[in-house]
Amino acid sequence: TQDSPTVHCTIFEDNKGCINLVNAPKIRPRTKHIALKYHHFRSFLARDKTISIQNVEMSLQLADFFTKGLGDVQFSKLRMMIMGR
């Protein structure tokens, strides 16, 4: 049988609390309500190293272009970054 290919990816996150939560080695009382599937996500960070998380400045978060209502200036800035200009 053939092994499945391993995919490595990077997540760019602008929320430092989220980054701290993902990198925390244990479940804390304030995070125990979070679904098991999110804690499973941590295993790919710690054990497999197939997912890495990098902090990105909020003004440079390209995903905001698709998920938030932005002002004209920020919208234009992110649009140009996505277009590679």
Residue 70 clears pLDDT 90, i.e. is over it: no
Alpha-helical runs (H) found in 1-85: 16-23, 36-46, 64-67, 72-82
pLDDT digits (tens, 9 = 90+) for 29-50: 777 777 666 667 777 777 777 8
Residues written for the chain: 85
In the predicted model, what is the mean pLDDT of the chain? 80
Higher local confidence (pLDDT), 79 or 28: 79
The answer to whether 44 touches 23, Cβ cutoff 8 Å, is no
This prediction has a pTM of 0.65
